[in-house]
Amino acid sequence: MSKKITEKEIAATKNQAQKTEEEEVTVQKKLISLYALQQINSQIDRIRIIRGELPLEVQDLEDEIEGLETRIANFLSEAESLKKQIIDKKASIKDSEALIKKYEAQQMNVRNNREYDSLSKEIEYQTLEIQLSEKRINEYNDSLEAIKVEVGKSKTILDERKNDLEVKKSELNDIVAETEKEENDLIEKSKEYQQFIEDRLITAYDRIRTNARNGLAVVLIERDACGGCFNKIPPQHQLDIRMHKKIIVCEYCGRILVDKELSLLYKE
Span 213-224, pLDDT tens digits: 889 999 999 999
Q: Is pLDDT above 80 for 66?
A: yes
* Burial (0-12, 13-18, 19+ Cβ within 10 Å), 170: exposed
Nearest to 127 by CA among 98, 155, 157: 98
Q: Is the pTM of this model over 0.75?
A: no
Other residues' Cβ atoms within 10 Å of the Cβ of residue 41 = 20
* Spacing of C-alpha 147 from chain mean position: 32
Q: What is the pLDDT of residue 54?
A: 85
Q: Among 5-14, 159-168, 173-182, 226-235, where is mean pLDDT lowest?
A: 5-14
158-186: average pLDDT: 90
Contacts of residue 63, Cβ cutoff 8 Å, sequence gap at least 6 = none
42-52: average pLDDT: 85
Q: Which helix (H) or strand (E) holds 256?
A: strand 256-258
* Burial (0-12, 13-18, 19+ Cβ within 10 Å), 159: exposed
Contacts of residue 146, Cβ cutoff 8 Å, sequence gap at least 6 = none
Question: Residue 17 — pLDDT band, cuts 50, 70, 90?
Answer: very low
Distances (CA, A) of 164 to 58, 106, 160, 223: 9, 69, 6, 50
Which ranges in the chain belong to alpha helices (H)?
A: 7-50, 54-107, 113-194, 199-211, 235-243, 260-263
d(CA 86, CA 94): 12
Q: Is pLDDT above 80 for 18?
A: no
**42: helix, strand or coil:** helix
Q: Which helix (H) or strand (E) holds 222?
A: strand 218-222
Q: Is pLDDT above 90 for 124?
A: yes
Contact 82, 140 (CB under 8 A): yes
Q: What is the pLDDT of residue 129?
A: 96
d(CA 243, CA 236): 11
Q: What is the pLDDT of residue 2?
A: 41
Mean of the per-residue pLDDT values of the chain: 88
Q: Is pLDDT above 90 for 19?
A: no
Contact 254, 213 (CB under 8 A): no
Q: Is pLDDT above 80 for 11?
A: no
Q: Which helix (H) or strand (E) holds 219?
A: strand 218-222
